[in-house]
Amino acid sequence: MEDQKEIKVEQTITETPETPKTSKQKKPTKKQLVSELLAKSNSKVFIANWKMNNKFADIKAYFKKFNKLIGSDKTLKTMGNVLIGVAPTAIGLLPVVGMARKGILTVAQNVYHKENGSYTGCISYDQVHEYNINYAIVGHYETRTIFNLKEADVNEVVKSLVNNQMTPILCIGETAEEKDNGLTQKVLSKQLLNDLKDVSANQALNVIIAYEPIWAIGKSPATNDEIDKNIKMIREIIGSIYDSETAKNIHILYGGSVDENNAAEILTVRSVDGFLVGRAGLDPLAFYKIIKSSPEYIESEKILKSKNK
């Protein structure tokens, strides 16, 4: 893993999507892929999951605005502990690589665990890696449900990513029925034990966990008490699988109806390390406001303003 500035993809994006040009890149070395940012336990992570949205013209319009917002933000430049990523559809990956300004990561929504082969319709981790795309969402509820993805399948993808110095954004969460029946801890434990099978403690620190209660997706977010309780529970489970240090330092995001109006309130929960954002991530201004809502940003902004007086 590394900041996208370390390897430049030679690519021209024109007015139409027919003529993007890419040149084959050498695969980054393991040394290059060590993420100093993710190693910071106080860093915040914000990923916009576009799902099956945004065509070429939409992507172009998005980054015309989003690049300007991020690029002109003096507070973000001084912080150095914020990871911002955008996860487009598979066909949108290369346009995003070409259009996103330095420091905005391109994230794959899904990859297959095999390097290559006769797997029609799949994109391998190695193919996205070639274009300096080192983050991938794994095990999202919609992917698990629509494509009947089993936990063993999720585990194979997680292992392929961490074994190649890439970062899985591993989604876990319980259904409304499981929540109502008091099965949240059992479900989360089962998912984590199976999804992280044969993943070492050191590798686990390169995994980002996204807690997305299924009952909150597209509806209303969990309460702060529910979020705090369940993220602490996830850390306890991680601690039982590995150790307390791994549990303390692994990044755990919240996802589920996050928007620019509730983000600041949710981020008062100290156990939340950021967001996997759905619908609100389709609006560059809304996503930017979510990024600005973190207590760390607000504090850094105050310090910067006081220095400039």
Catalytic residue among 156, 174, 212, 260: 212
CA–CA dist 116, 154 (Å, integer): 17
Q: Is 265 a catalytic residue?
A: no
Check: CB of residue 135 under 8 Å from CB of residue 93.
no
Q: Where are the alpha helices (DSSP H) in the chain?
A: 36-39, 56-71, 74-79, 93-99, 125-129, 141-146, 151-162, 176-180, 184-195, 201-204, 224-241, 244-249, 263-266, 284-292, 295-307
Instruction: Enter the tokens of residue 273.
Output: 């390390």
3-state secondary structure of 72: coil
Which residues pair with residue 45 across a beta bridge? 83, 274
Catalytic residue among 2, 140, 251, 260: 140
Q: Write phi, then psi, for 82 (nearest 5 degrees).
A: -125, 125
Q: Is 212 a catalytic residue?
A: yes
Active-site residues, by number, are 140, 212
